[in-house]
Structure 1
Amino acid sequence: MTETGEAVIVRRNVAKENSNQLGTSNDPENEPESETESKEIRLTLMEEVLLLGLKDREGYLSFWNDNVCYGLRGCILVELGLRNRIGLEPCGMRRKNVSSRNIVVKKYVPTGDSLLDEALKHINERKPLNTETWINYLSGETWNPVNLPLQLRNVRERIAKNLVENAFV
């Protein structure tokens, strides 16, 4: 191992020992105020993308912007991944690339967000599929009528309603 690699390991170990000696724990009471303040005003990834896509003067998204539709569905999958509800299957011996690996449910526990819970329910009820396929199914872009019930409807409106209810807009 190189000298810099050993230095990094030593620094990590020293940092762990210092935190243990100081008696820090994972209690919410011991957290710095800046972290607790950020938790109070935490937006989901979908809400952040929707706010970025709003026209400043008009206050609405372009109705014809299909990229926002796919982007929001992708954000739903990313948010579920960040909350440790879904993940990618292991790459295995063949070393599949990320885009061809399937999405699997890690924990089927409600998140408290209706959109995320609905998407998690759909993913849990189906066989594992890759990310691109799930984005197409959730956006309703499929020629197979059997998969149309997987479409998440009124996503923009539901996200905007959450923003209004939480007094962000």
Structure 2
Amino acid sequence: MTTLTHRGWHAEAGRNSDKKPDSEEDAAADRDLNDHDPGDFKDIRLTLMEEVLLLGLKDKEGYTSFWNDCISSGLRGGILIELALRGRIRLEPLSIRKKRLLERKVLLKSDAPTGDVLLDETLRHIKAMESAETVQTWIELLTGETWNPFKLQYQLRNVRERIAKVLVEKGILTTEKQNFLLFDMTTHPVSNTTEKQRLVKKLQESMLERWVNDPHRMERRTLALLVLAHSSDVLENVFASLADDKYDVAMNRTKDLLDMDPEVEAAKARGAEMIWAVLAAFNKS
């Protein structure tokens, strides 16, 4: 769906925390809920979807690039990863007939509310679905990219605007009206540049000063955000401010990371299976 670009090519720890995990994947996911980097828990707590949108927004203009047709599906992938990291969903266990990530269905693990409107709406959709679906199918359903009129009910509507409104409530964005000749558009310029700079710096450092050369030693939310920034075609925004030499290093390391085989990497770390499954879905698109 999207590819890594180089400069000049494109200018809650769950409400059932006392419940024993029923698999290695669940155990790893539960550990992840209680083992974040200190930088992940600031006064302002952002979901993966909020972070992706924040990275994609033009600071002063307050909207994403008109040429970006990837961010909508990227945000839906972020919803699935966020739910998995919060212990609400997981992939069905490996079996002889279903070994590949994109063949395994998304299973509901807990329907306990998360407190986030989009996450909880998605949980209701997954619970209401008569037969379990794969990660790729869920991304398509949530985006509305389905030819089945009976499944249009699973589409999440106005996702960018709803995420932006939450970021306004958190004091990171503001709301303005801009005139574009033939129409007026609500925009959301960045008002808290410190929060966005912290997010960009975190990702830059993960590829430079804190580079570990192993995705399984990387904090899962950081790995997830890199995958989603790539899938949403906003990764260029993360590294654009770097000097040329550091930019090249960061982009090359990120490319090497995202070129890894999701099947192989998911087998090494069950708690990150959903992250690799989302990457596999976008690689196939």
TM-score normalised by L of structure 1: 0.75
1:60 aligns with 2:60: no
Deviations 1:10-56, CA, capped at 9 Å, x for gaps:
xxxxxxxxxxxxxxxxxxxxxxxx94992532200000000010123
- Letter of the aligned partner of 2:105 in structure 1? N
> Is 2:94 aligned against 1:86?
no
In the other structure, the counterpart of 2:118 is 115
CA deviation string 1:105-144 (max 9, x = no partner) = 0001111001000001001111210000000000000111
Paired residue for 1:151, among 152, 155, 166? 155
Residue 87 of structure 1 aligns to a residue whose secondary structure is strand
Alpha-carbon distance between aligned partners in 1 of 2:133 and 2:48, rounded to the nearest angstrom: 22
Q: How many residues align?
A: 136
Q: Distance in 2 between matches of 1:154 and 1:64?
A: 18
C-alpha change, 1:148 and 1:108, in structure 2 (3 Å) is same
Matching of residues 5-84 of structure 1 within 5 Å: 35=38, 38-63=41-66, 65-84=68-87
Bigger Rg, structure 1 or 2: 1
Deviation for aligned residue 1:71: 0.2
- Percent identity of paired positions between Structure 1 and Structure 2: 59
Residues of 1 paired with 2:161 and 2:140: CA distance? 19
2:104 alignment partner in structure 1: 101
Q: Give structure 1 stretches of 5+ with no counterpart.
A: 1-33
Shift of 1:79: 0.4
Structure of greater relative contact order (alpha carbons < 8 Å, 6+ residues apart) = 2
Q: Distance in 1 between matches of 2:76 and 2:86?
A: 16
Q: SS in structure 2 opposite 1:128? A: coil
In structure 2, relative to structure 1, the CA distance for the partners of 1:110 and 1:103 (3 Å cut) is same
Over 3 Å counting, the alpha-carbon distance change for 1:94 and 1:50 in structure 2 is same
Residue identity in the other structure for 1:45: L
Name the counterpart of 2:170: 166
Normalising by structure 2, what TM-score? Answer: 0.45
Amino acid at match of 1:140: G
Q: Structure 1 pair 37/137, CA: closer, same or farther in 2 (3 Å)? A: closer
